[in-house]
Structure 1
């Protein structure tokens, strides 16, 4: 089981929906396509990637291939999937991070948000450090905190909510304590890239 394959397989909204569907019960390709309003060929391609990552398997029932989720995958924590890094791997990753920081952060201020998803998440991790655990914030307070490091607080606030990092209810925000256990889009891209970055610098 390769961490990169798993995270890349999950870094797609349609494949996440397929996994969620299979959590309930096994489905054939046609049923998945109908439920998600996708073409059968598209679903087949997504299932192939999930199979290659070792996350689902198929059984034959008459003329149909019925797909099942490997439940042991769902029970694993992210830390159990990630490969063990060597000191040299960590040094390469640290060098890459420092290069990103020096490109997008000047004098403690974020000059612009990276367009590349893995770099964007790395910058967002710095912004997340501004929020205290177990503290509730008014929207104005969230805006004020973000604006201390980046001018366009609206896009950052919105994307952190979409990412599942910040929770918003009736205008009150708080940091989701276990957001790392349910990674959103940017974090999933980062996780799928992290092992590569350790080895390719």
Structure 2
């Protein structure tokens, strides 16, 4: 399973708006919402219509994810920075509603309140642009850059546990996979940050485009560590795996 979270966070604003990136090494178009890939040069078919790869990934984003606006708006608050009310406002603006129409949709309030919301959100956008420019300039200037492991977008709670450098990540994996990363897990650590590093590696054993039964999930985990029940529970708690209410199907949430 490729790390779609890393592709997502490395994408430019324009790429996030489109919903896909092009990987020059593999010559694939990659959906930023689900990680599905489309090979350049291959012709794809949908409803008896043929499409080139880039056009087909655009169709895929539309059919499978409605739109990147909807997908991005529904990301957790820790990524959008928007309150529930602000999300509603952005949705109404996207729909092209004027202030009076929004007041009706909100079933209360006033047009002046809506104008204030518009102003606040535009100021927030300006601040985001300046902050992005500042961070990019500071990283370009810095000779030594600390590289952090990207946070998976479905993380249930982002805190200090996710403050993991690539160097720290490698050290923990080497310490707990003594026979190599394809070998068994020697011990499951007690510290939460170390658990997160182990779980992040463990989820790469799963195919992000596949649905698994509980037995299949157990088999994958047990090939790495005997206590599959504990690891399965942590994979769900940390937002790496999801499942149906009856536990009949599991899938990767990345």
TM-score by length of 1: 0.45
Structure showing greater radius of gyration is 2
- Name the structure with the higher helix share: 1
- Name the structure with the higher strand share: 1
The structure whose RCO (Cα within 8 Å, separation 6+) is larger is 1
